[in-house]
Amino acid sequence: MPYYFYYFDWTIILLIPAFILSLWAQANVNGTFRKYSQVYNRRGYTGADIARRILDMNGLYQVRVERVSGNLTDHFDPKTNVVRLSEATYSSQSVGAIGVAAHEVGHAVQHAVGYAPIRIRNGIVPFVNVCNWLSMPILLIGVLFAGLGSFFPSLIDVGIILFSATVLFQLVTLPVEFNASRRALQTLRGQCLLDEEEMRGASAVLRAAALTYVAAAVSSIMSLLRLILLFGNRRND
């Protein structure tokens, strides 16, 4: 049996801060959205109203706005040109819902203007999916059969390289999400769709949402670092 199984895996410690950050970020976004889902805008706009208005402002009349089931399942589908808003967003007049709706429209605008990071992210999705599917099985085979010849340890390298595609995807996602939020807030303020007090609530919701993507990136980086520390120097042992 390879040497990897004979000692305490201290590298698990690397995952603890990332795990705590992820839990906190998820709790924070849920709590922040819940808080500002009770604060309503004075003009009576719903999330669907805001989405439609911003789409039309950008000439995206062909992009539809639809309701989708679930909580915080809001997203833009570039394949069907549809902004889908969750039940908590679509018909709500809260500043939280308006912030989320404007953010998703931000993604639609990114597609329309050819924003480079979102084109890169969409382009690598099939590659990343394949890498995610193959990385752990290949790594496990390399670990289990490392003592049978030099070929199997090389599979560990392949598994680590494939896993690094996840880190790449998370890193590319960050500017995409930050830019969508920035577009949303600039439009809401610039078009006077929310007043300054309401803007603070929408901003808080989008900042909380952004932290979940930061947490996901940190978790993937720490996981990759752990794999490198565990198996990167095996030929020297």
Token code pair at residue 71:
């909580």
What mean pLDDT value characterizes the chain?
Answer: 90
Q: 157, exposed or middle or buried, with CB in 10 Å at 0-12, 13-18, 19+? A: middle
Check residue 232 and give its pLDDT.
66
Does residue 233 surpass a pLDDT of 70? no
pLDDT bucket at 154, cuts 50 / 70 / 90: confident
* 209, 1 Cβ separation under 8 angstroms: no
Higher pLDDT, 161 or 7: 161
pLDDT bucket at 7, cuts 50 / 70 / 90: low
Average pLDDT over residues 171-189: 95
How far is 220 from 222, CA to CA, in rounded Å? 5
pLDDT in tens, 74-119: 999 999 999 999 988 999 999 999 999 999 999 999 999 999 999 9
| Residues with catalytic roles | 104
Check residue 235 and give its pLDDT.
44
Domain boundaries, the chain: 3-40+95-236
Does residue 1 surpass a pLDDT of 60? no
Does residue 59 surpass a pLDDT of 90? yes
How far is 152 from 219, CA to CA, in rounded Å? 27
Average pLDDT over residues 29-53: 95
Q: Across the beta sheet with 82-86, what order do the strands follow?
A: 64-68, 82-86, 75-77
* 138, 177 Cβ separation under 8 angstroms: no
How far is 122 from 132, CA to CA, in rounded Å? 16
How far is 35 from 178, CA to CA, in rounded Å? 22
Check residue 11 and give its pLDDT.
76
Does residue 5 surpass a pLDDT of 80? no
